[in-house]
A and B are shown apart, each in its own frame.
Chain A
Amino acid sequence: MRVSFANRATTGAGVRSFTLARILLLSLMSLAATGCTVSLVAPYDETTVTSVTDLLKRTDMFLIQQQSLLDSGQQSKTTYENNKAWYDQTEVDLNAIIIRAQAIPKNDTTVKQLKNLEAALQGVIDNNKAGFTSEYLALERRIVDQAIGAILAAEFSKKQP
């Protein structure tokens, strides 16, 4: 017995395939209307890569310097008050990167990654207020590198061949 498209759409598996068919049809209609290729994520953005790479270098340098100061017995130079200017500048820089990323359509995952980085930076600030240790800084640098590396990996994946 031949089952019509309308009848199949009322059965269990039929409802799913009918829904899929509707999505495909709507996608094709949308394509026909725009005449464009499909875009599910924001295009590759060189500025994001450059600014996030700069942030990675600056943060790594900061954490290494703090560790060196502690290891050479200069703890008084690693206080929060001493580092406040660096934190302020870094928060401004990161905020600018986030706002710019938010302005790019279909860039939600990158924005979420940057906000995670912002939260991680807040963790460093809170720890600095309580007092750094060399071992804490070594671990924190390792983790920050992972967090920033993932942002860069996502951005590079958007590069078209």
Chain B
Amino acid sequence: MEKVIIDPVTRIEGHLKVEVTLDQGIVKEARTSGTLFRGFEIILKGRDPRDASQITQRVCGVCPIAHATASVFALDQAFGLEEKIPSNARIIRNLILGSNFLQSNILHFYHLAALDFVDLNRLARYQGEDARVRALKEFLAGGNSSPFFPRYEGDYRLDDRANEELASHYLLALEVRRKTHEMLAIFGGKMPHNVGMVAGGVTEKPTVDKISAFLWRVNEIREFIDNVYFSDVMRIAEKYGDYLEMGASGYRFLSYGAFNLNRHPIDQTKRSRLYPQGLADVALKLADLEPERITEQVKNSWYEDEITNRHPSRGDTVPSENKSGGYSWIKAPRYDGEPCEVGPLARLAVGYSLSQPPVRDLVEKSLSGMKLKFPNLLSCLGRHLARALDTKLVADAMAEWVLQLKPGEPIYVAYELPEEAEGMGLTEAPRGSVGHWIRIKRGVIDNYQLVVPTTWNASPRDDSNQPGPIEKALTGIKVRDSRNPLEVVRIIRSFDPCLACAVHFVTPKGRELEWFRIS
């Protein structure tokens, strides 16, 4: 038996450590732990409820809008506004969230994941005229290496041409990614950490100049998605076909649904959305979403066992860092006691199972074009393909939504702050399902809880010792070279983990802080 520790796992958001135990090169056991805690729930307590959408955005600079969205949904519900949100505000919120999806997915594929597949060493032989490839070649030839080297050495399999084009697109995608933020700021004011999305609606009015500026940019990005992003993922899939067969978690897929198409039905778990809500298993058998079935378990997390298996809205956080068997600060969220995988693949699986037209049509068309079947998506590269499809689905929808804006019509509804109220906000981040729960007492935040995508995906073992989805996906894979465990990091990154999001629920143990314990 050999133990391999990867700390830090770079090219993800946040601080992650992974430990795998190998038996003759096969992963017998994998353990993921988050290594940063900030204590957002404690910080939120006692504040003006309206500030939650700004504070919770700061959970994550890569996907702040998912938190802003979940937070304004929870506030709208607590303030009794869900039926009053103007349709301009609904659309602008979708455009802001959608822009963040495009940013995050493009960043993830090109700048976080691609260097596990693309070999920049081979650019040394490049003789062509592509200015971006030449720039990279000259940079590396001039004795520079960081941040591209060192790296894990191993099976970089692309031919020269594919390598060169992917390298060129790495640089091109830097520009495209920047434009997604410019597009977002048209209605969001600035990015990261937008100011446009607030409880009651949005702050920025749709005017024809903004509408056309947005449309122009989204169309430019759609062209990139259709002509570059999608085919780049396919090129990697062609050479790394075995990664279409490995890295499945085997667990049920969970989606909270995202992008309201209407303000009805008032029940968020049934609201009409571009991505529908629900659960699908690997055979695509469906179940309705019932958030009350979600609990968080802590047998293998550094928390007192007495708080285990509670619903997030009644959750507590009593740390026990020396607990025997504990190995992570991440709790283990479970649905009906089972682990679930979340993310673009989960959204597609749920939408496809439900035969929701845009999702079903896109998945069917793309799979037949790639000569693949749905089960191929249940894999490491399948997650990358699903993320590319997710990007396309959202971008195409945005181009339609922006034209539904009506200049001159309302964007915001005023309200009175309640003394006592509760609210729940459910949406999707690029990397999976996000839920926020707020309780207001005496006009301030009494309790605020977040359950976020990477808490699901990077969860440790639960009370019945079932591993979390990333741990499960790693179990059984073959690692060719334990000093260069490329297989491990390729699979981890396919989940697009966001650790800053995953670990927020920690009350440090210590007398001086006990009175902040959330009950």
Instruction: Tell me, yes or no, whether A binds B.
Output: no
Q: Which residues of A contact B (CB under 8 A)?
A: none
Q: Which residues of B contact A (CB under 8 A)?
A: none
